[in-house]
Amino acid sequence: MTDPYAIQPSELDQLPDRDPEETAEWQASLDAVAKAAGPHRAAYLMRRTLERAEGNGIALPKLLETDYVNTIPTAAEPSAPGDEEMERKITAWNRWNAAAMVTRGSKYGVGGHIATFASAAWLYETGFNHFFKGKEADGSGDQLYIQGHASPGIYARAFLDGRLDEQQLDNFRRESGGNGLPSYPHPRRLPWLWEFPTVSMGLGPLSAIYQARFNRYLTNRGIKDVSASHVWAFLGDGEMDEPESTAALALASREGLDNLTFVINCNLQRLDGPVRANFKIVQELEAQFRGAGWNVIKTLWGTAWDELFQLDTTGALVRRLREVPDAQVQTYQTRGAAYIREDFFGKDPALAEMAKLLSDDKILECFHLSRGGHEARKVYAAYKAAVEFKGAPTVILAQTVKGHTLGEGFASKNANHQMKKLSVDEFKTMRDLLELPIKDSDFVDGVVPYGHPGADSPEVRYLQERRAALGGPAPARRTHALAPLPAPAEKAFASFDKGSGSQNVATTMAFVRLIKDLVRDKETGRRWVPIVPDEARTFGMESLFPSLGIYSPKGQTYEPVDRDQLMYYKEAKNGQILNEGITEAGSMADFIAASTAYSTHGEAMIPFYIFYSMFGWQRTADQMWQLGDQLGRGFLVGATAGRTTLTGEGLQHADGHSPVIAATNPASLTYDPAFAYEVAAIVKDGLRRMYGEAAPGEDPNVFYYLTVYNEPMPQPAKPSVPGIDEGIVKGLYRFNTAESAGLDVAAANAPRIQLLSSGTAIHWALKAQQLLAEEWGVASDVWSATSWTELRRDALEADAALLRGEERVPYVRQALHGAEGPVLAVSDYMRQVPDQIAQWVEQDYSSLGADGFGLSDTREGARRHFGVDAESIVVAALAQLARRGEVKATAVKEAREKYGL
């Protein structure tokens, strides 16, 4: 019996049906087709109907997957310009030399990868011959993110072009001699060739998206018109498993970045085996990119497949291609025609009949050789469609065979990523396949020769003519002779010298105020790029919203809810602030693009990226290495810093270790300033070094990491101490003495201790200084250690100089020379941070720090828990003096009891 209260299917449909009878007819027609011709035919008709609707602009959900065939059929392929035979010869030389370079280097055990470029050769060569614009082209040329494992092929092309010689190829992965080649794209190691580091995997695609976005930012802000520049990112299908690879796909489509193309080399293999053994990675990626709003072009099959598709009158071939998992496709690559006839064609009667019309050679040609990514005309068609598509970014899914042309021992083998060399016989087989004029006698003592047709050969002339027409060599990094940026007015920095008087000001607020003054500078203000991951109000930056504007390519299409307020939320097409939402990875990618604009675009930009310090280095340290490798310049600002200053937030927000991680990066200059005037001095020096006149021996290709605090404290006036600016920049200066602090230490020979502190810890040290004098008769001097890391690096350089026979004293030893008593160091970080300098301090040395996990509490409670508050410093100081016999041992116990420790 039917439940009268049951919800009927029609009631679940919230869309009104104007003509239910017509709807029923359509549904009946679909049922009839499915019954008469089968579900495959019904699905085919539905797919074609949806495609027609989409083509006519009817608003329907897009198909996320299409059939496992080429997006551009052979009949629709445009004629490729140029000489295809000449390009085949050039590609053959490059294939050979890439394999020879890695094989020759294998005797040194330095590794290298052969199979990746072998599969992707035509993806690069077609671009170099017809699409990739060089630095002399309009705008800034194109930006190329080369797949890291394909670097031997790029070196091989540079060798053919005369940009590298045989000695350099022989020094692949052996750089210490000074004439070698780095393993992967490393701009710091080969700065005239590589622009973008793309290993670690996953960072390339993320950076490419934000580079394309930053290009639009530069154009929309009127800094430089780079609208003619196109960003190309070459990726592996296995690399797309990295979360960073797909993290910003929606951003690219949301902002319509049609100046961006991803080329994914779908050889179906990751490092140890199939990417999707039981599935199909191409279909998965297509759905992912289509769902994110990208234009998708599949280039899967070569022209040898055309005959098979023409014979497929029932759709059986397309269905079979869609259902065969990737691992089985790899197996077909290594098996004979009989196996393929049985396993692929034999699964369907219609395909079995088709197979009878195919010779064994035809089957092997299709299944072993013919892939869309291996044919210049198909790659050209895909690239042309990509650069002409407007309104969205494009991804090209190009199917290839990993290890193509390297012989049966390499092609599609699971282990080919780890295979570093070919035998002489395998090279000879490869030579014959590629039709290269290399004689057997050229293999001297079993060493494979490099091949070169000659500097004036038709191949080299053709290559160079094509590059000249496209704007010069590629890839290439430009080192521009930029004039130093004028220094901002001294007033912006000097305003912090007088302190804040009775007003409590956090150093985070001091930094933001400094930036507000600097962005007003007529000469350099527009070059600042403020970057923040969504919490600008946390850092007090909302005052910048109406004055600078938040960048949006659409401007502001709505009336903001706070429009009637002074500091309203203002978006603008020429906005200066990059407010990225909750993505530290995206914000870092922004920073990298902005920090290298001096090279990429010949425009010096000054980025500062402000973030919760805990969610900077801990979360995105790999990108900070990428930043250093790419020679980026700018200011990273870890706000709400320290383990105890962020009240109540607890373990995951309490940063006690970011300076430790930052210290591992040679390009990072890490500072933990205590006062506003120190922040100003460090930023001033950073602008000089990175954008002005660097001193002799100074590397301008560095970035600054400043930790700033959200704890409002009195900001003192800048002491009149000789050399204080030098001390701030180098990392240490004496802030005061017991006497200059006005403390009455009764005994003329009172015991004395040196208190070194950084960041917010200096306030605890100053209170401890007072307690030591007033309650224990101990004199102490307080030092501000603005950078433990820079002190250590200077000391390491001094040690290295001594080994070279040069006399040099570390700055930390110079600064502390003659200071009486032991040294006690304290910071709001783990003890490992101040302990960086311990071995170069002549005095007895000990330290306090916030080791362990963070916890939720008040600032005072947290500091007492970690033993870094003023009272804990007093006890530690007394203990150190007691060990030296300068105070009574009982004083330590008395102090513990007095302070409840």
Residue-wise pLDDT for 654-696, tens only, equals: 999 999 999 999 999 999 999 999 999 999 999 999 999 999 9
| Mean of per-residue pLDDT scores for the chain | 93
User: Strand, helix or coil at 749?
Assistant: coil
pLDDT above 90 as % of the chain: 84
The distance in angstroms from the start CA to the end CA of the chain is 79
pLDDT at site 414: 62
Residue-wise pLDDT for 539-592, tens only, equals: 989 999 999 999 999 999 999 998 988 889 999 999 999 999 999 999 999 999
pLDDT at site 336: 95
Residues 788 and 877: beta-carbon distance below 8 Å: no
What does residue 697 show for φ and ψ, rounded to 5 degrees? Answer: 85, -10
Match 């053959």 to its residue by tokens.
92
CA–CA dist 229, 670 (Å, integer)? 35
Which ranges constitute the DSSP H helices of 442-552? 458-469, 490-494, 507-518, 544-548
Q: How confident is the model at residue 12 (pLDDT cuts 50, 70, 90)?
A: very low
Does residue 3 register a pLDDT over 80? no
Q: Of 548, 695, 500, 600, whose CA–CA distance to 135 is shortest?
A: 600
CA–CA dist 872, 722 (Å, integer)? 31
Cα separations (Å) of 485 from 10, 125, 184?
A: 69, 39, 33
Does residue 56 register a pLDDT over 90? no
221 CB contacts (<8 Å, ≥6 apart)? 526, 551, 574, 575, 576
Please give the structure tokens belonging to residue 592: 């990298």
Does residue 378 register a pLDDT over 90? yes
Segment 60-71 mean pLDDT: 87
Does residue 412 register a pLDDT over 60? no
User: Strand, helix or coil at 67?
Assistant: coil
16 CB contacts (<8 Å, ≥6 apart)? none
Q: How confident is the model at residue 59 (pLDDT cuts 50, 70, 90)?
A: confident
Does residue 10 register a pLDDT over 50? no
Match 């001699």 to its residue by tokens.
177
Least confident residue range of 276-290, 334-348, 388-402, 745-759: 745-759
Does residue 206 register a pLDDT over 80? yes
pLDDT at site 652: 82
Number of Cβ atoms within 10 Å of the Cβ of 888: 12
Relative to beta strand 733-736, strand 779-784 is antiparallel
Q: Of 221, 101, 175, 145, whose CA–CA distance to 477 is shortest?
A: 145
Segment 101-112 mean pLDDT: 91
Residues 223 and 140: beta-carbon distance below 8 Å: no
Residues 271 and 240: beta-carbon distance below 8 Å: no
Cα separations (Å) of 438 from 121, 430, 447, 448, 837?
A: 20, 11, 13, 10, 60
Residues 882 and 876: beta-carbon distance below 8 Å: no
Task: Give the dihedral sign, CA 16/22/25/27.
Answer: negative
Q: How confident is the model at residue 474 (pLDDT cuts 50, 70, 90)?
A: very high
Number of Cβ atoms within 10 Å of the Cβ of 714: 13
Segment 247-266 mean pLDDT: 98
pTM metric for this prediction: 0.94
Residue-wise pLDDT for 704-718, tens only, equals: 999 999 999 999 999
Per DSSP, what are the bridge partners of residue 783?
Answer: 734, 756
Three-state secondary structure readout of 691-723: HCCCCCCCCCCCEEEEECCCCCEECCCCCCCCC
CA–CA dist 686, 692 (Å, integer)? 9
Please give the structure tokens belonging to residue 333: 């690559």
Does residue 407 register a pLDDT over 80? no
Residue-wise pLDDT for 451-471, tens only, equals: 999 999 999 999 999 999 999
Q: What is the DSSP string of 775-787?
A: HH--EEEEEE-S-
Least confident residue range of 5-9, 41-45, 310-314, 593-597: 5-9
